[in-house]
């Protein structure tokens, strides 16, 4: 089975495709719980995997270039030295000491999720054979012929366009989304885009950003797949 994962307020929302082609959506409290399900053979998650000591990741630069005006939705991955910061102020001070600039509120807000994934992945780099990093907007751009979806997902039209793209690949996506609250539907849409990417990785047809990457100090390759 393949899975696509996106973070949500309740933990992680996971779109799962079973061997018979059926799909479902499940909620998990933590990332390690997802990894414990050995039947999930290939997982794509919307969280950075592989962090730099200084400077931006080439993967983030490349996908921003692809998305053009929508590149703003790709938050820069944190440098590794801020991962254990206990406050936004401490993280900003640490980054300023290394790069001369602070940490955005958006990045600080998702840092716990990044830390959760990084903790599991850096403990066992071999997990990256099973767990890959994706980005929903990059996947939707690939579904859309290489063009970014110009309307933000926060708007009704943006959600509609993304749901239409998913509907071309998942016959039951609307049924799955209809069982969720409105707030979870937004996260589930992204999870389904990660599941679409997992399909492509399993088939060997994915695109990699960058095509070749150098591993970080834990042996993790900072590569976004779509």
Residue-by-residue DSSP string for 58-115? HHHHHHHHHHGGGGGGSPPPPPGGGTT-SSHHHHHHHHHHHHS----HHHHHHHHHHH
What pLDDT is recorded for position 92? 93
Given a cut of 50, the residues of the chain with pLDDT beneath it are none
What pLDDT is recorded for position 72? 82
Q: How far apart are CA 54 and CA 126, in angstroms?
A: 24
**Domain ranges, ordered by start, for the chain:** 1-74+114-226
pTM for this model (two decimals): 0.94
What pLDDT is recorded for position 217? 94
What pLDDT is recorded for position 60? 95
The mean pLDDT of the chain is 93
C-alpha triplet 187, 88, 53: angle, nearest 5°: 85
Q: How far apart are CA 60 and CA 5, in angstroms?
A: 19
CA distances from 149 to 155, 156, 165, 204 (A): 12, 13, 10, 24
């Amino acid at each position: 089975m393949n899975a696509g994962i996106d973070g949500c307020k309740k933990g992680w929302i996971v779109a799962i495709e079973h061997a018979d082609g059926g799909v479902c959506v499940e909620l998990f409290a933590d990332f390690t719980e997802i990894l414990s399900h050995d039947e999930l053979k290939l997982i794509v998650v919307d969280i950075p995997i592989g962090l730099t000591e200084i400077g931006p990741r080439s993967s983030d630069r490349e996908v921003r270039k692809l998305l053009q005006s929508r590149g703003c939705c790709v938050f820069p991955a944190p440098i590794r030295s801020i991962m254990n910061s206990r406050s936004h102020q401490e993280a900003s001070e640490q980054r300023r000491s290394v790069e001369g600039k602070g940490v955005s509120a958006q990045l600080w807000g998702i840092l716990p999720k990044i830390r959760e994934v990084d903790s599991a992945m850096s403990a066992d780099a071999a997990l990256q054979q099973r767990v890959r990093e994706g980005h929903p907007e990059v996947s939707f751009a690939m579904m859309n012929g290489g063009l970014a979806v110009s309307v933000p997902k926060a708007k009704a039209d943006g959600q509609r366009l993304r749901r239409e793209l998913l509907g071309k690949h998942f016959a039951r996506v609307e049924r799955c989304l209809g069982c969720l609250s409105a707030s979870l539907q937004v996260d589930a849409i992204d999870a389904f885009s990660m599941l679409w990417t997992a399909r492509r990785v399993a088939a060997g047809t994915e695109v990699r950003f960058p095509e070749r990457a150098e591993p970080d100090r834990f042996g993790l390759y900072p590569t976004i797949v779509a």
